[in-house]
Structure 1
Amino acid sequence: MARRNNEKNESKPMSEKIVVETEERSIWSVFAGMVMVFLGIMLVIVGIIALLLYRVDPKLDKTLPVPALTVLPANTSAHALTIRGSVEKEIKRVAVYVNDKEVENAVWVDNGNFKYEYQIDKEGNYKLQVASISGFPIRKVSEKSAVMAVNVDWTAPAKDVAVGYKKEVDTKTLSVTGKTEAFATVVVYNNDAKYIGKADKDGKFSVSVPLAMGQNNFDIEVRDEAGNSVKLDQPIVATRVSGSINGNGSTTGPDLPESAGELEAAMAFLAGNKLMSTFGLLALIVLLANGSLVALKMRKYSV
C-alpha cells in the first residue's frame, strides 16, 4: 500500500510543486512588505514630531556651562568676523547671537572649541554673544556669554590733514605736527625708514624725524584704528642748513608761530638796556663829581 502511495506522489507533475512553493513565498513577501511600510510610516511620524519639537525655542537652563569668546579687535576693516571660543567638552553645540539676534543655533563644538564665520554686509557696531545648546529634540540653552563689541569700519581717513613743520632748520631733527582722525596712527617715512606717531582723542599728533644735511623729502600715511589707510598728496620738504638760523627760517602749517624778527627784537631790547646803563653810569659820575666839589668848598670855608 505504501509503495502505491509513493508511486502516486512521484507521479504528480513538477509544475504543481512549483506553484505551491511560489504561493508560500508570495505570502511572506507581502507580509514583509507590510512590515516595512509600517516601520517607514512610524519613522516619518517620529521625524515630524522631532522636527516640531526641535523648532520650539530652547528653554533656559542656568546650570549649563556658559561659553567664552576669544577676544577680537575692537576695530576692524574685515568683511567677515571669525567668532571663536571655548566651552566645557560635554557641550556639543553652541548658538551665536549678533546684536541680540540668533544667527546660528547649531555650531558644532570640537573638543571644547568652536568657530563660526559671520559675514558683514555693512559698517557699524556689532555685539557678539554665544550660548550652549543641549538636548534633542527638546533643547535647552545656557545663559549668554558677555558681550563682545566690534566696530566695523571700511572708510579710510580723510586726506585733508592739517600738517605743520619748518621748511628750513639748523637742527638734526624736524617736528611734524598736525591734526587728523582721533587715535589714528601717523607714519612719516623716507624710503625704508619709518617714524610713527599716535593722534590723541582730539586728533592732534607730533612726529619727530631725523634730518640729513640739505633737502629732505618725506611722505605721510594716516591709518585709522580699523586699519584703513590713506597717503597724503602733499609731501614734506624740509632743508637742514649748517650754522645757526637767526630767526628768519620759514614755517608752514596752521597754528605755527613765525620766528622771523624775534632775534632782531631781542637785540634791540638789549641795545636799549645798554644805552640806559650808559646814561645811568654818566649820571653817577656827575653826582660823584658834584659831591667832591661840594666837599672841597666846605673844607675851604672851614679853614
Structure 2
Amino acid sequence: MQNQLISNKKSPFPLGAWQLFTFYLHFSLLAQEAIKQAAVTSEGNHTLVVTDTSGNEITVKFTIDKTSTVVTGVSNNGLYKKDVIITFNEGTATLDGDDSTSGKTVTSEGSHTLVVTDAAGNATTVNFTIDKTAPNAPTVDTVTSKTTEVTGTAEANSTIVVKEGKDTIGIGKTDQDGKFTISIEKQKKGTNLYVTAKDIAGNVSAATKVTVSK
C-alpha cells in the first residue's frame, strides 16, 4: 500500500497541493537534520542528497566561501604621498561610506576607509591615509665654525638631513614637539649647509640654507 497522508481536519489546500507542501516540509526537516549531523567546513561548491526510508530524495546545492576579497593598491594602515588606484577581485565596495568601484583613483588627502564585501558576506576593511603635502622648511639655529650640533625646529616626527653640498654630514629626527639636534663635525667659516625635513609619508621640504659663521 502506498503511503498516504491522513488528516481529520479540513485542509485549506486541494489534496494534491497539501501533499506537495507536506512533502517539501518533510524533506526540508530531513536536510536540516543531516546538515546538523555532518558539519561541512571545506570551501567550494557542495551537493547534499537526502533520502528518506521510502527512497524519496531531495538534492540541495550550496557553496561555502570563507575567503576575503583581495585588495590591491592600498594596504591596511598604509600611508601614501601620492594618488592611489584601488582594485579588488570581487564584491561591492564603499569608500568613506560612499559606493565605490574597482579601479577608482583616490586623490584627496586625509584618512580613508575602504570596505569590500563579497557575495558570501566576507568583508575586508582597509584604512589608509594620503599625505601629499611637504613639511615646511626647517628653522635652523646659528651654526658657527665651532658648532658640533645643528639645532632647530621642523615638523614633529620628521627626519632631518644636513648636507654640505651633495654630502650628508648629519641626520636625525625631530621629537614630538618638532625640535631636533643633529651631530656634525666642525665646519669652516663660509661653508653653506642645507637642512631638509622629510615627513613620515616621505614628502621632503625645501632646504633651509645656513652659512657657517666664525
State the match for 2:186 in structure 1: 211
Amino acid at match of 1:158: N
Q: Provide TM-score, normalisation by structure 1.
A: 0.42
Letter in 2 for 1:80: V
Unaligned segments of structure 2, at least 5 residues: 1-62
Q: Tell me by how many angstroms 1:175 deviates.
A: 0.8
Write the mapping of 1:17-96 to structure 2, written as runs, cut at 5 A.
64-67=66-69, 69=71, 71=75, 74-83=78-87, 93-96=90-93
Larger helix percent: 1
* The structure with more radius of gyration: 1
Structure 1 Cα separation of the partners of residues 66 and 78 of structure 2: 28
Q: AA paired with 1:100?
A: G
Matched letter for residue 149 of structure 1: N
Cα deviations across residues 190-210 of structure 1 (Å, max 9, x unaligned)? 122123221222212221222
Deviation at 1:65, TM superposition (A): 2.0
What SS does the aligned partner of 2:91 have? strand
Cα 1:176–1:212 change in 2 (3 A) is closer
Task: Verify the 8 A CA contact 2:188 2:212 in the aligned structure 1.
Answer: no
Q: CA 1:164–1:212 in structure 2 vs 1: closer, same or farther (change >3 Å)?
A: closer
Mapped partners of 2:107, 2:196: distance in 1: 28
In the alignment, is residue 149 of structure 1 matched against residue 127 of structure 2? yes
**How many matched pairs?**
149
TM-score for both structures, normalised by structure 2: 0.57
CA contact (8 A) 1:62 1:142 kept: no
Alpha carbons 1:62, 1:143 under 8 Å: kept: no
Quick check: which one's strand share is greater? 2
> How far off is 1:214 after superposition?
4.5
Identity %: 22
User: Structure 1 177/67 Cα, relative in aligned 2: closer, same or farther at 3 Å?
Assistant: same
Unaligned runs of 5+ in 1: 1-60, 85-91, 105-115, 133-139, 241-303
2:162 maps to 188
Counterpart amino acid of residue 193 in structure 1:
D
Rounded to whole Å, the distance in 1 between the matches of 2:94 and 2:206 is: 37
Q: Give yes or no for the alignment of 1:122 onto 2:108.
A: yes
Aligned-residue CA RMSD (Å) = 3.0
Specify the alignment match of 1:255 in structure 2: none
**Equivalent residue, structure 1, for 2:176:** 201
